[in-house]
Structure 1
Amino acid sequence: MSARSWRWWCVIVAVGGAGCLNIATLAAQDDLPRSLDSRVKIELFAENPQIATPTGIDVDSQGRVFALESNTHFPPADYPGPKSDRLLVFPTSPAGGKAETVVLFADGFRHAMSVLVAPPWLRTQAGLAADAPATAAAVYVATRRSIWRLHDDTGDGVADRREELVKLETRGDYPHNGLAGFALDGTDWLYFGFGENLGESYSIVGSDGTRLSGGGEGGNIYRCRLDGVQLQKISTGFWNPHANCVDALGRVFSVDNDPDSRPPCRLLHVVPGSDFGYRFRNGRKGLHPFTAWDGELPGTLPMVAGTGEAPSGVLANEGLGLPDDFQGDLFATSWGDHRIDRFVLKPRGASYQSLAVPLIVGGTNFRPVGLAQAPDGSLYCTDWVLQDYNIHQRGRIWRITGITPPREPAVDLHSVGAASAEMLERWLAHPRLALRRTAARHLARSAAGRNTLQTVLQANDSAPRARHEALWALLATSDAGPLPEATAAGLLRGGQGLERVVLEHLGTAAMPAPAHTPKGVVQGLINDRLATDTRPKWDPAALVPALARAKLEDPNWPAQLASIDDPFVFSELIGLLARELPVDRLAEFLNADASRRSPPLRLAALLAARRVAPRDETLAGLGLADRDPRVRQSAVQWVAEEKLSGLRGAVEQVFQSKDVTSGLFVASLAALAMLDGQNPAEIDRLPASQYVIPLATDAQRPASVRVQALRLVAPNDTALTPAFFDSLWATADKSLQLEALRSWQGGKTREIADRLLQLPQDPQVDRGLRLESIVVLSELAAREEAGGPARALLARLMSDDDPLISIEALRAVRAVTQPDDVLKTAVTDLTARVSRTGTEPSDALREQAAQLALLADLWKLPTAPSLKPLLEPRPTTKEEWVYALGRGRGGDPEAGRRAFFHPAGAGCLKCHTIQGRGGRVGPDLSRAADTMNRMQMVLSLLEPSAEIAPQFVAWTMELRDGRQHTGMIVHENEGKTVLGDAEGKTVTLPTAEIVERIPQKTSVMPARLYDRMTLQEVRDVLAYLVKGSR
């Protein structure tokens, strides 16, 4: 449950008696949760007064449901319930049905969030006696400030003792942004998350005294051993990693609980050392240019998928209780969107991508939190029920199962030790993870069993899950001794499928040899990623742990790795350089002689240098002097965040640069604000007059800087006066003159109407400026009455001897929805003139004909038959479009820019930004050429819904009053949700009034957008994206 969602207004329901609200009353208020898959059902397992406001949940090997009841999360002053959080146990029946009894296992907790019952194979490691009864339990509970281990030694269902394993020392006291989110991996590491703590300083202390401190960096993920020792920080850059899981192949996933103003919430693939970009100290909204949400900044990692609002539980399905095709999929709850989503993972480089597919959906009073899997494969989830952050004595637990019962009963894990060796080996491939792991650990206890595990491990025809369990059992069992080097070497040969796991454990006590990744393995993995015409030999994800444990044994590796377009690989390249190279070597990558090295390599070296010597102004200064804008941008961020005030002047020099990009410009503004003592959290409130307007009006600045400043000035800013326009025009600098026209477009066009009526017809004005002025003139034409001066001028320009002027005028009059007689006459005359050509028609003539045909279609007029011989055949299928755009005439980037930003064009500017101009609804296309090739751009235009990035998924929001709105989430903060539609228009909804959110598989970008353009305009826009966006 996210810190933002929790700010909703509270509805305190006064009830009498036991304070329970039965399911019938809830049903009258709202729809109960239901499955969208006909093979799956959801049924009520428990409800208040059995449990109230539940949070974390787990199910032990006996099928008992352990659930935390919150009684301390903002209790009302007159709250009649218990004074502390409680851990309750619900026995289950093989026949299913509702819980009949509930046992208080333990109480006395404050702000309890997560619970984990130690599985049978870890009972002794978790502190239980070897001869403890099967019903005995070791249970881990995470509260905001502590991780507790509780023991029921006698098996009576009540905790006999407890010990604090990990403690959080901080002034922060918000209930659910502290410690939470347990997960166990195959070698018995216990993972947990820690939220942003509202930026307060903190120390997390393990049971052996290990102390990890910080503050303001955002949320982190840690791990420790089952007794709280060997505490380690694994990952950073979260808002609040409230729930985590480890899947059957050992991959760690987390759901980040709040996006604040950077929706959506995130499903993340966590690897050691990863950074997901969020920085609380830069402002909780996440809008600062030094904060990333989807890998926008170098060294940070992207999300796997966007999730529903306030994801609070995540689980990797491994069992028999759900349809077979769900095996291995991830499930996540969404407290704010009243649903449970399914995620099918698809490889993407060294990581994965997915899309939230709703499985269970409910109404307003379905607020799923925790998620756990039972021995029979069914899922259990806790339900907070009401939207109130204050506790309210409502609560439920639901059970999710397949319609068809499991094909076999769940094996009692406490009886596994009595099974034959043959049965244990068979169970290594069982769909139920707990049974696989228990069988593997029993085999690992004897020499004969370990031989069996070795055989399974090295057999290529063994089931992948069986091989993973065999490997983990051998690594986790001390009696097995270190894994033989020959075995490790064999598993590192390409095609074995276990390379990633083996590489993750190189150099550990369980696998001391080889101590680091062999050179041949690194080179093989690199070659695999560089090859484009062969099937990969290795798992692409294996390159990440390979680099994490590699020595820099080949001087060619940095350049090769820098050429791989994969943020996970790039992150490890930074680590490799920082680990292996001293400062002077890193400086060699950055000095003036380094220009022969690629920008990505110089960028990696700069980020590595910051890790090694964060206070070294010389190294940072080398980055500021680099010719590549992205390198300089990272150097600017370094200077600001490390407060290297001695380099303030060097940062200011960015504003004397002739090749400044919008990213570098904005980063430099933010850096100066930081160095000047401005609160980075207030970056979105800095007035333009403080930094931007002075730069835009300073005639001594390079034109490129003034251009960037102009792009940040709002169209209605009072600084945009006719006199300012005239001063920019008087510079005679074409780039400034163009930007002046673009700055007045959309806001203060009428104030410079007299200039706009003169520029297009002045032969002394540069042709490109004349063309751009016609684009702006179209806004005047659209607003004025019939026969107005702008329309009359466009009518004359249609017949201009310069075909480009004529074409631009034709495009401009598309803005006029009700043409007057003057425009109709001009179109008729031009049609006759174009049709009379007696020679082979030129490309320009054909485009005039195409513009006339498109204009006739928009004005609901018949296309003149005389034009048809001049028209290029219009593609009708995707294949024909691909063919047409790949042959024939090339595109003109400048014409493409005019078409892209044209108010009467296809509408690209309404949603997309390029170099600081345009809408903020869709993806920023400033670096489109760096992220997509031309064919990908073509396919995105032809099929916008074929592949949608997580943060640009469209959502249908249903409000409490029944109204629905569909669009992309542009902003969500302070109780407001802002949606953007295909026209770039936004609507603001009260977040508290949204009762259901449904992700759409259709992009907000309209289908057949190309129908609003001529074929040549499509070519031109593509040329602009390929070349002009750079």
Structure 2
Amino acid sequence: MKPKLIAFAAALTVFSGYTPKSNDNLVLNNKEFSDETKLFLPDDLEATLWAESPKFYNPTNMDVDIKGRVWVTEAVNYRKYNNKAPHFKDRAEGDRVVILEDKDGDGVAETSKVFVQDKDLVSPLGIAVIGNKVIVSCAPSIIVYTDENGDDKPDKKEVFLTGFGGLDHDHSLHAMITGPDGKYYFNAGNAGPHMVTDKAGWHLRSGSNYNGGSPYNNSNKGGLVSDDGKMWVGGIAMRVNPDGTGLKVLGHNFRNSYEFTVDSYGTMWQNDNDDDGNRGVRVSWLMEGANMGYASADGTRRWENDKRPGQSNVTAHWHQEDPGVMPYGDNTGAGSPTGVAFNESDLLGEKYRGMLMACDAGRNVVFAYKPQTNGAGYDLKRQNLITSLSDKEVAVAQSSVREEEKTKWFRPSDVVVGADGAIYVADWYDSMVGGHRMTDTTGTGRIYRIAPKGKKLTTPKINLKNTKGQISALLSPAVNVRNAGFVLLAAQGSKAVKEVKKILLSTNPYHRARAIWLLSNMGPSGVTAVEEALKDSDPNIRITAFRALREVSKDISAYAAQLSKDLSPAVRREVAVAMRDLPANTSGDAIVTLATTYAGNDRYYLEALGLAAEGKEEVLYPILNAKLGGEPLKWSTAFADIVWRLHPKAALPALKERAASSALSDEQRKQAMVAIGFIKDQSAVDAMQELMAGNDAKIKEQALWWLKYRQGNEWANFKMQLPATGSEINAESQKKMLTQKLILENNTSTLKDKIAAVKIMAKDKVGGEMLIGLAVDKKLSKEITDEISKVIFSNPDQTVRVLASDYFKKPGGTVALSITKISKLQGDLKAGKLVFQGKCTSCHRVGNDGANIGPELTQIGRKFEKNGLLDAIINPSAGMAFGYESWLITKKDGSMVSGFLQADGETVVLKGMAGEKYNVKASTIASRKQFATSIMPEPTALGLSEKDLANLTDYLLTLK
């Protein structure tokens, strides 16, 4: 690092004139148990049961209006393909939106009324009450109901935006929230594709390889490009103008962020769920434009396909070691994350101001965070705010519990801050959560109100007809109530600037931030006040001012130049983010300045630089190399990081030199190898092959892995030479089986010849796949089907044996197993472990033992109670995890291959039962079939007795 840069870096460690406030750290009081609500919460807070069924049922989401009323979306008709009537409640006229009100202010809701019931509402997952508009999120559409006369009945129904994927699916369209800029923010899960056109004609196209979970989620795909030229993937966060124009993606590649929120600085927060068994649930700060790393960058590949040697599941699950992916934030472990909210009010107590709340229904808890700036990002220290269990029990809470364990039925689905400053928590209330299933046949739901002890919180009466009332609305604890004040004050323009500027003197920084956003929309005098805020001592206020000016200014170059030298890495990060969509000739100088202040130890800052340089890497690299680089083997850690993140083609010779040099550490060489692996060019393939041909064993091994891995995706169309991998489709077997198949399909063949042919095929893996394919297409006669049934269940391939049961009758039939009977048997843990080692480790892993074919079971005891686990073992197809569906692909030449779908793009990648991967060019595929049957054999097929199952289940329940 150059001397002047060392001096500047040192200066970054001093205070920037901003002194942290005393409430910057959240220290929760000792937990106290409430006998009334059966909840644990800090002893300076109290909980009351504010409302419960029959006032409403199955609450999925809430919002609060200016009167303090709570609006609830219901999901009584929840996933009827799994939870059928008459066993469960049913609403033939559709699901409902219900209004609850505490009229006498005693902390309990007395009244409940139905705002709307609509057949278009199929388990809606989001609601926002914005003025007289009630905006409901229910895939495929965002629906706006307008109450024009204030009688709490919709007078008009409009489709605001439509085309979202996820019909009747949890990974679908989620709640809308108004931002401090007056725009609408919302998100959607990865059950795409999301093919949406805004009111100005701008097209969003977002998808991924995630299919399944419902009968309707079967057309999703990655590699889609939107009108902004970008490839948005999976779950996405968006912003749109109130009139439906200006749709913009703010972040992408989530799995299923159930909800996200925006604080008054304009900073975004969210949670996200993982694939079951990977302990990868996360609560995160969402940087604008961020790729959060669930699928591959183009959305065509599952994370398992991209997992590199030595990576943990969590690291691979979120692609944490890929350039271009944001850090995941706080990994909360296993769970089922749901609603989030951000408290900016002092009414609950000043220490709770700035508290991010995140529900986890699987863990029976509402987590609390006080985000702390750390470099360009944030530290998230998790605490249990509200739970139905002790803190120790929360750590091992389960998503499925026994009927009698009522303390574990607390399933918080949403949390909001009320207009009175209290916290409201919706409880789905069920013995299980997730997997599109439920057990509670009554649809019971609850809402708890959390308030400070000894202090009565009331909803103020706000008169929106005058400036004072409008400012009161702007300063409301309830996020969507604030919008009423924002809209009316902005409409006043310069006339209200003087009063709004008074808010800049508030001791509450979130109030100051709201004033800044508003002033930027109030004409030249307001903008001038915002420009002054660029010099504020609080970096969050400087960030807010810059964000606000970005929204209203055609040219931000002067602001960017000023703040690109700011002492706060968080402020400079925000400048970097703003450079993303600007051409190199207007952003280049600022990006270079920002790069010179990267010290080599801040992934958030590095990713912001990467966003700034997107599409400009080749232009910027020579400039950055001249300023910061030099001889490749003498690069600083910071510059090596920057080149890794940008991985321009021009850096290939230097990267190759670093990878091949024994003078560098293993980590430095590995970093160079990864950078080469992300360069999409023939020259990168050639460099990797040269490295593979070298004498360094470690580098040879890494190079071989990259070449084998990339031949199925980014380098599929480039020339490369590889040794045989053992995963090629067996051409000789295919040829032999195709000969037998021709005999079977030939009309001139005798029945005897056909029977002989199918007996040969049924004993072979490839032949068995072909027979299943013919059965799928209903091309087998009864006589031939009967003959196949006698042989195919002895096929050497487990997948063939299991899938055959869908189309062929197993000799001897099946033995019915009673979950109730087995659950009453006393299990032997040692015997159960032996059963697991003998029957299960060929597919499942516990810790470092076993194979990585099926879901990992290291903490399976956290997910299930005994009956639920027995059900999953005895009926494996009923709750099959995403990614473990079997596929059968038929190529145009008649050959077939089966396995788990790992990637679905120009090259389709299947993973076989031995962990081998098959790469199939999409252009060569004639047909494909997805099976609803799990390839996990039923217990009787494994020779397991009822006692064996009792032993196995009890052992698995200890894995926590």
Work out which of the residue numbers 336, 345, 348 in structure 1 matches 2:362.
336
User: Are the equivalent residues in 2 in contact too, given 1:482–1:512 (CA < 8 A)?
Assistant: no
1:523 equivalent in structure 2? 565
Q: Deviations over 1:499-522 (max 9, x none)?
A: 1012223443x2345445342421
1:81 equivalent in structure 2? 90
**1:994, CA displacement in angstroms?**
7.8
Work out which of the residue numbers 490, 505, 512 in structure 1 matches 2:548.
505
**1:665, CA displacement in angstroms?**
5.1
**1:402, CA displacement in angstroms?**
1.9
- 5+ residue gaps, structure 2, are 1-34, 209-232, 309-314, 389-406, 660-667, 717-722, 728-845, 850-857, 868-878, 883-950
Work out which of the residue numbers 39, 43, 46 in structure 2 matches 1:41.
46
Q: Work out whether 1:412 is the aligned partner of 2:461.
A: yes
1:117 equivalent in structure 2? 128
- Partner Cα distance (2:140, 2:542) in 1: 38
2:249 equivalent in structure 1? 233
Matched to 1:519, the amino acid is A
Q: Work out whether 1:650 is the aligned partner of 2:687.
A: yes
User: Are the equivalent residues in 2 in contact too, given 1:262–1:285 (CA < 8 A)?
Assistant: no
Matched to 1:277, the amino acid is G
Query: Does the C-alpha gap of structure 1 residues 603 and 150 become closer, same or farther in structure 2, counting only changes over 3 Å?
Result: same
- Partner Cα distance (1:358, 1:516) in 2: 44
Q: Deviations over 1:818-842 (max 9, x none)?
A: xxxxxxxxxxxxxxxxxxxxxxxxx
User: Are the equivalent residues in 2 in contact too, given 1:551–1:580 (CA < 8 A)?
Assistant: no
Matched to 2:588, the amino acid is L
Percent identical = 18
Q: Deviations over 1:425-446 (max 9, x none)?
A: 7887776767776556655525
> How do residues 72-471 of structure 1 correspond to structure 2 at under 5 angstroms?
72-75=77-80, 76-79=83-86, 80-83=89-92, 84-93=94-103, 94-119=105-130, 123=131, 137-168=132-163, 170=165, 173=167, 175-197=169-191, 201-216=193-208, 217-279=233-295, 281-283=300-302, 288-289=307-308, 291=316, 293=318, 295-307=320-332, 309-319=335-345, 322-362=348-388, 363-386=407-430, 387=432, 389-390=436-437, 392-404=441-453, 406=455, 409-413=458-462, 415-418=463-466, 420=468, 443-444=489-490, 445=492, 447-454=494-501, 456-457=503-504, 463-471=508-516
- Partner Cα distance (1:637, 1:493) in 2: 43
The number of aligned residues is: 638
Query: Does the C-alpha gap of structure 1 residues 562 and 541 become closer, same or farther in structure 2, counting only changes over 3 Å?
Result: closer
> How do residues 918-929 of structure 1 correspond to structure 2 at under 5 angstroms?
none
- Partner Cα distance (1:609, 1:587) in 2: 14
2:642 equivalent in structure 1? 604
- Partner Cα distance (1:991, 1:140) in 2: 47
- Partner Cα distance (2:48, 2:861) in 1: 26
Work out which of the residue numbers 600, 603, 611 in structure 2 matches 1:575.
611
1:635 equivalent in structure 2? 675
Q: Secondary structure of the residue that 1:330 maps to in structure 2?
A: strand
Q: Deviations over 1:141-192 (max 9, x none)?
A: 111321111111122222222212222255x656111221323210122222
- Partner Cα distance (1:587, 1:263) in 2: 42
Query: Does the C-alpha gap of structure 1 residues 436 and 381 become closer, same or farther in structure 2, counting only changes over 3 Å?
Result: closer
- Partner Cα distance (1:192, 1:46) in 2: 27
- The TM-score, its normalising length taken from structure 2, stands at 0.58
- Partner Cα distance (1:677, 1:431) in 2: 49
**1:366, CA displacement in angstroms?**
1.4
Q: Deviations over 1:644-685 (max 9, x none)?
A: 5775443333434566768x95585255134147999xxxxx
Q: Deviations over 1:322-376 (max 9, x none)?
A: 3332122011111111121211222221221223211222222111112222211
Query: Does the C-alpha gap of structure 1 residues 179 and 665 become closer, same or farther in structure 2, counting only changes over 3 Å?
Result: farther
- Partner Cα distance (1:211, 1:494) in 2: 39
1:769 equivalent in structure 2? none
- Partner Cα distance (2:503, 2:361) in 1: 42
Matched to 1:278, the amino acid is Y
**1:319, CA displacement in angstroms?**
3.8
**1:306, CA displacement in angstroms?**
2.8
Query: Does the C-alpha gap of structure 1 residues 463 and 991 become closer, same or farther in structure 2, counting only changes over 3 Å?
Result: farther
- Partner Cα distance (1:635, 1:151) in 2: 53
User: Are the equivalent residues in 1 in contact too, given 2:194–2:207 (CA < 8 A)?
Assistant: yes
Query: Does the C-alpha gap of structure 1 residues 141 and 619 become closer, same or farther in structure 2, counting only changes over 3 Å?
Result: farther
Query: Does the C-alpha gap of structure 1 residues 446 and 239 become closer, same or farther in structure 2, counting only changes over 3 Å?
Result: closer
Q: Secondary structure of the residue that 1:495 maps to in structure 2?
A: coil
- Partner Cα distance (1:222, 1:462) in 2: 31
- Partner Cα distance (1:320, 1:989) in 2: 52
Q: Secondary structure of the residue that 1:673 maps to in structure 2?
A: helix
Q: Deviations over 1:356-407 (max 9, x none)?
A: 2112222221111122222112222332222163354423121222253545
> How do residues 584-733 of structure 1 correspond to structure 2 at under 5 angstroms?
585=621, 589=625, 597-598=635-636, 600-605=638-643, 607-608=645-646, 623=655, 626-627=658-659, 628-639=668-679, 647-657=684-694, 669=705, 671-676=707-712, 690=726
| More displaced 10-residue stretch of structure 1: 595-604 or 217-226 | 595-604
Name which one, 1 or 2, has greater alpha-carbon Rg: 1
User: Are the equivalent residues in 2 in contact too, given 1:144–1:179 (CA < 8 A)?
Assistant: yes
**1:484, CA displacement in angstroms?**
6.4
Q: Deviations over 1:536-569 (max 9, x none)?
A: xx86765655665783326963652342421221
- Partner Cα distance (2:41, 2:196) in 1: 42
- Partner Cα distance (2:958, 2:362) in 1: 8
**1:584, CA displacement in angstroms?**
8.0
Query: Does the C-alpha gap of structure 1 residues 140 and 620 become closer, same or farther in structure 2, counting only changes over 3 Å?
Result: farther
Q: Secondary structure of the residue that 1:302 maps to in structure 2?
A: coil
- Partner Cα distance (2:50, 2:168) in 1: 30
Query: Does the C-alpha gap of structure 1 residues 637 and 112 become closer, same or farther in structure 2, counting only changes over 3 Å?
Result: farther
1:52 equivalent in structure 2? 57
Work out which of the residue numbers 506, 511, 523 in structure 2 matches 1:481.
523
Q: Secondary structure of the residue that 2:687 maps to in structure 1?
A: helix
- Partner Cα distance (1:169, 1:425) in 2: 36
Q: Secondary structure of the residue that 2:91 maps to in structure 1?
A: coil
User: Are the equivalent residues in 2 in contact too, given 1:86–1:106 (CA < 8 A)?
Assistant: yes
- The TM-score, its normalising length taken from structure 1, stands at 0.55
User: Are the equivalent residues in 2 in contact too, given 1:561–1:573 (CA < 8 A)?
Assistant: no
RMSD: 4.5
**1:273, CA displacement in angstroms?**
1.2
Matched to 1:190, the amino acid is Y
User: Are the equivalent residues in 2 in contact too, given 1:149–1:164 (CA < 8 A)?
Assistant: yes
- Partner Cα distance (1:562, 1:920) in 2: 38
- Partner Cα distance (2:76, 2:470) in 1: 44
Matched to 1:304, the amino acid is G
- 5+ residue gaps, structure 1, are 1-29, 124-136, 530-537, 611-616, 681-686, 692-917, 922-952, 963-972, 977-987, 998-1030
Query: Does the C-alpha gap of structure 1 residues 539 and 486 become closer, same or farther in structure 2, counting only changes over 3 Å?
Result: same
User: Are the equivalent residues in 1 in contact too, given 2:377–2:605 (CA < 8 A)?
Assistant: no
Matched to 1:215, the amino acid is G
Q: Deviations over 1:709-737 (max 9, x none)?
A: xxxxxxxxxxxxxxxxxxxxxxxxxxxxx
